[in-house]
Amino acid sequence: MKTSARNEFLGKVKSLENGPVNTEVILDIGGSDLVAIITHESVDALGLKVGGEAYALIKAPWVIVTPGSSTLKTSARNRLCGVVTQCHEGAVNGEVVIELAGGKHIAAIITNESLKSLGLKVGAPACAHIKASHIILAVDA
């Protein structure tokens, strides 16, 4: 599988909670949980079952970054914290890579102004926030 999503995590389905329209899928990616919201039809089409494997795909622009010391409350269901290992400025946007517990990494694309105002630099603690609806799930066919 090749995708344009910068962030790809393989995990095990911990739970499936059906709502009226969507299903909440909790995926254990090895030390951290990711919550994804997908339709019932997608759960069936992917054949998702508790204990089964699935990939979580997250495009880098969908990741919101805060400093690790932030107490900001957001509506984003997922919060993954670690240490900045890469920080690159571009013409308008920059890239931030955060190393999570267990050695996994998550990349985010944010504005250069945000890089500066948040004080993000290599070695700084930071958190990645992802809305549950911004996680795409995939399985091996």
Domain spans of the chain, in order of start: 7-58+132-138, 60-130
End-to-end CA distance of the chain: 10
Q: Answer whether 0.75 is exceeded by the pTM.
A: yes
Q: What is the pLDDT of residue 31?
A: 83
Q: String of b and e for 122-140 (b: at least 16 CB within 10 Å)? A: eebebbbbbbbebbbbeee
Can you name the CATH fold of 7-58+132-138? OB fold (Dihydrolipoamide Acetyltransferase, E2P) (2.40.50)
Q: What is the pLDDT of residues 83-127, one digit of tens each?
A: 999 999 999 999 999 999 889 999 999 999 999 999 999 999 999
Matching fold, domains 7-58+132-138 and 60-130? yes
| Topology of domain 60-130, CATH | OB fold (Dihydrolipoamide Acetyltransferase, E2P) (2.40.50)
> What pLDDT score does 126 carry?
96
Structure tokens at 69: 């010391």
Phi-psi region of 92 (alpha: psi -120 to 50; beta: other; left: phi over 0): alpha
Over range 44-53, report the average pLDDT.
97
